[in-house]
Amino acid sequence: MRIIVPFANRDPKSRLAPVLSAAERREFALAMLCDVVDAVERTGYEPELLLDEPLDLEATIDGGPSAAVVDDAAALLGSLPTTVDDRPLTVAVNAALDDGPDQAVVMADLALATPTALRRLFAAGGDVAIVPGRGGGTNALVVRDPAFFVDYHGASYRDHRQIVADAGLSADVVDSMRLATDVDEPSDLLEVLLHGDGRARQWLVEAGFEVDDGDDGRVGVRRGLK
């Protein structure tokens, strides 16, 4: 199976700006990418990176709390097949998909992804297998028919189901907490701290983030000094 992992290397994870600096966002995004790539490789497949600009690991080392992740990324990502396409995500992914059988698209911010969860996706039936994300997004896909194309704008899960229906294809929806959890907002960091066990969680812990059992009974995240 051919597996494409899109990664926004230009100003990654901008919605985490309230809690992370630009340098920290870049490094944290890289840690999540490494977790996803590692999980894919442990299923026995080699992922292909789809970047919006070349990956400059040296630029990542700029005051982040764990520059060691850069060395890890260099070892893990350096030999992977890579395509650079600076067009919007939808255009770039559609250009990357070919007419071959069994192609997957797995987003780079699925910090809870495991080989078990990915194997379940890869084994799902249908002409298209879809993992919905929270909030109406699409976190991963398996495409088995060239009549399908992606559209990541807006409520992409709804749109992808409609594309499948319009093309007369079959869809299998994969319900997976681990693959449905993408990290975009500060509140999403709680899921990584609670359920993660990879580089992304380690990065957050080293950066001083911890679970906050608030006085009002709501669980959140706080950042202490390290």
Torsion angle defined by CA atoms of residues 7, 86, 91 and 78, in that order, rounded to the nearest 10 degrees: -40
Contact 39, 115 (CB under 8 A): yes
Q: What residue ranges do the domains of the chain occupy? A: 2-223
Asked if residue 89 lies in contact with residue 50, where contact means CB atoms within 8 angstroms, the answer is no
Q: Cα separation of 178 and 123, whole Å? A: 16
Q: What residues of the chain score a pLDDT lower than 70?
A: 58-67, 225-226
CATH T-level assignment (fold) for domain 2-223: Spore Coat Polysaccharide Biosynthesis Protein SpsA; Chain A (3.90.550)
- Give pLDDT, residue 226: 57
Collapsing DSSP to helix, strand or coil, 15 comes out as helix
The pLDDT assigned to 159 comes to: 97
pLDDT for the residue 67: 63
pTM: 0.93
Per-residue pLDDT, 66: 56
Q: Is the dihedral of CA 23, 20, 108, 127 positive or negative?
A: negative
